[in-house]
């Protein structure tokens, strides 16, 4: 006989057991999930690798204010988590975080060196890379603020540029060249008679070579100097080799040594006019000159920057005759009175004539200098508008007046200081004019013709100062009759 009650009781027990097992399984799964989540939320995982710098730039040469780039390639099979660049002195603490955990990461981070940092100082920047397991590797980058951006200096001692050299028994051209730089690398000389490339080193180098020139003509030597960082400087010197005394150009000067010849911005020697008459070309030259005092002394030189190798002066024993010397010791041609002279010299018979004359062109009531970077009394700029004080560079509204000579109405002078114009972009230079309310009349200089001491009425080119002329004091002297300007450093 079946006992229903007993069967029902077993059924209930079985059901309870299944429910318990289900709940237990749920708890186990929940616990596993929680453990898994806790692991995912953690900062690291167990790894057995270390970040490696596959390639790395550990030395950088730079300068204050320059932008440098830290470069390298990091590898880690566990994945690169972050890269940190740290240097407290430059307030550098940059962390690059990689969520994707790449096994290879290419670093290229740019940073500007503080502008007030000391040149030639050395700085060590730590770069730390960390993998997914928080294992780190650190490498140092040494930054030295010594980057060489200056080109070598080239000093051509001889020959003198523009020199006329008489062909003789040899050694017509004596090359004497001096180079200087932080670290020189190469000297190259190119010409029709000499081509040479020399590997050099050190901070200075002297080159000498005597050349035997067998054919008359114009010879130009181009000198290139390169330093170890690739900076290059180029200079050239040209000479004329002649079989007799015939010159391409002639200059008149009232200076007495080579240093004085080159102290003026535009060049102290004054150009002359060469005769184009048949048989006179290269032999006969005429100069115009103003003698500001009695017994002024002048000499002729065919090379602009030196009294060597040729200088022409007066033969003190034969009036009207020239003598040929090799330096400024040659006796001068004397101009007896104050005033304008026309002086003609003839190389063929070594003769000269001097003719005083009176100009007939109209003088100006006033002349002005205008431009940029020119200061009168070291304070008032030619960029300052004369009417309202506003800034107006390169304009007649801002022209500053010369002072007229007390005895010569054509002669004007002004003392100026040259410096870069602050808070303004543009070229530092000048134009001359004689009108504060318009451009005409004006003068610019013969830059394209190679003679910036020559002023051209209504034409010419704006003169732009070389940076080496800035931060110095000059006296500008302008002759409106001779159309000539000189600028002597005071």
Whether residue 250 contacts residue 345, with contact meaning beta carbons closer than 8 Å, is answered with yes
Instruction: List pLDDT tens digits, range 31-44.
Output: 444 444 444 444 55
Tens of pLDDT, residue by residue over 125-156, are 999 999 999 999 999 999 999 998 899 999 99
Instruction: Show Cβ contacts of residue 249 under 8 Å, excluding neighbours closer than 6 positions.
Output: 162, 271, 272, 274, 302, 304
| CB-CB neighbours of 432 under 10 Å | 25
Q: How far is residue 64's CA from residue 187's CA, in Å, rounded to a whole number?
A: 30
Range of lowest pLDDT (93-97, 164-168, 296-300, 393-397): 164-168
Is the confidence at residue 26, as pLDDT, over 70? no
Greatest CA span in the chain, whole angstroms? 172
pLDDT digits (tens, 9 = 90+) for 100-126: 999 999 999 999 999 999 999 999 999
Total Cβ atoms within 10 A of residue 193:
15
Kindly write down the DSSP assignment for every residue of 192-251, as one continuous string: SS-EEEEE--SSEEEEEEEE---S-EEEEEEEEEEETTS-EEEEEEEEEEESSS--S--E
pLDDT grade for 242, boundaries at 50, 70 and 90 = confident
Domains, the chain: 52-144 (2.60.40.10), 153-242 (2.60.40.10), 255-357 (2.60.40), 368-489 (2.60.40)
pLDDT average, residue stretch 164-178:
87
| pLDDT tens profile 459-479 | 999 999 988 899 999 999 999
Contact 408, 469 (CB under 8 A): no
- Give the C-alpha separation, 256 to 223, whole Å: 29
Helix/strand/coil for 353: strand
CA distance 156 to 472: 25
Lowest mean pLDDT of 17-31, 71-85, 249-263, name the range.
Answer: 17-31
How far is it, in rounded angstroms, from Cα 311 to Cα 292?
23
Alpha-carbon Rg for the chain in angstroms:
41
Structure tokens at 97: 């975080």
pLDDT score at 269: 83
Q: How far apart are CA 64 and CA 60, in angstroms?
A: 13
284 φ, ψ (degrees, to nearest 5): -110, 125
User: Lowest-confidence range among 47-56, 159-168, 255-264, 333-342?
Assistant: 159-168
In DSSP terms, 412 is beta-bridged to 404, 478
> Is the confidence at residue 281, as pLDDT, over 70?
yes
Cα–Cα distance measured from residue 418 to residue 429, given in angstroms and rounded to the nearest whole number: 9
């Amino acid at each position: 006989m079946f006992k229903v009650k007993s069967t029902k009781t077993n059924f209930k027990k079985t059901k309870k057991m299944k429910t318990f097992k289900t709940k237990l399984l749920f708890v186990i799964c929940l616990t596993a999930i929680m453990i898994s989540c806790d692991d995912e939320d953690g900062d690291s995982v167990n790894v057995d690798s270390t970040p490696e710098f596959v390639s790395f730039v550990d030395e950088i040469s730079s300068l204050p204010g320059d932008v440098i780039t830290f470069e390298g390639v990091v590898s880690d099979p566990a994945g690169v988590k972050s890269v940190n660049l740290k240097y407290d002195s430059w307030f550098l603490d940059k962390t690059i975080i990689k969520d994707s955990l790449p096994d290879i990461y290419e670093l290229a981070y740019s940073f500007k060196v503080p502008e007030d940092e000391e040149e030639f100082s050395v700085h060590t920047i730590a770069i730390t890379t960390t993998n997914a397991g928080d294992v780190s590797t650190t490498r140092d980058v040494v930054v030295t603020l010594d980057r060489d951006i200056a080109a070598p200096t080239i000093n051509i001692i001889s020959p003198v540029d523009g020199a006329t050299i008489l062909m003789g028994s040899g050694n017509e051209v004596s090359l004497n060249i001096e180079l200087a730089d932080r670290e020189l690398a190469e000297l190259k000389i190119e010409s029709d008679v000499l081509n040479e490339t020399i590997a050099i080193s050190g901070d200075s180098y002297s080159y000498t070579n005597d050349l035997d020139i067998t054919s008359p003509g114009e010879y130009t030597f181009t000198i290139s100097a390169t330093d170890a960082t690739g900076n290059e400087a180029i200079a050239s010197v040209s000479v004329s080799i002649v079989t007799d005394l015939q010159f391409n150009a002639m200059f008149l000067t009232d200076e007495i040594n080579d240093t004085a010849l080159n102290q003026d911005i535009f060049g102290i020697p004054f150009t002359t006019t060469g005769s184009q008459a048949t048989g006179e070309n290269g032999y006969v030259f005429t100069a115009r000159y103003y003698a500001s005092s009695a017994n002024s002394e002048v000499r002729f030189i065919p090379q602009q920057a030196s009294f060597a190798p040729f200088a022409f002066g007066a033969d003190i024993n034969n009036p009207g005759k020239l003598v040929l010397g090799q330096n400024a010791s040659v006796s001068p041609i004397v101009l007896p009175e104050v005033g304008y002279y026309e002086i003609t010299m003839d190389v063929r018979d070594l003769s000269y004539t001097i003719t005083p004359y009176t100009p007939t062109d109209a003088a100006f009531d006033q002349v002005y200098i205008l431009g940029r970077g020119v200061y009168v009394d070291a304070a008032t700029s030619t960029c300052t508008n004369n009417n309202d004080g506003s800034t107006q560079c390169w304009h007649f509204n801002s022209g500053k007046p010369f002072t007229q000579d007390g005895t010569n109405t054509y002669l004007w002078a002004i003392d100026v200081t040259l410096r870069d114009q602050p808070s303004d972009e543009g070229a530092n230079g000048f134009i001359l004019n004689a009108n504060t309310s318009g451009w005409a009349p004006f003068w610019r200089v013969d830059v394209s013709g190679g003679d910036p001491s020559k002023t051209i009425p209504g034409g010419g080119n704006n003169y732009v100062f070389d940076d080496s002329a800035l931060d110095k004091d000059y006296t500008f002297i302008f002759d409106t009759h001779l159309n000539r300007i000189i600028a002597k450093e005071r």
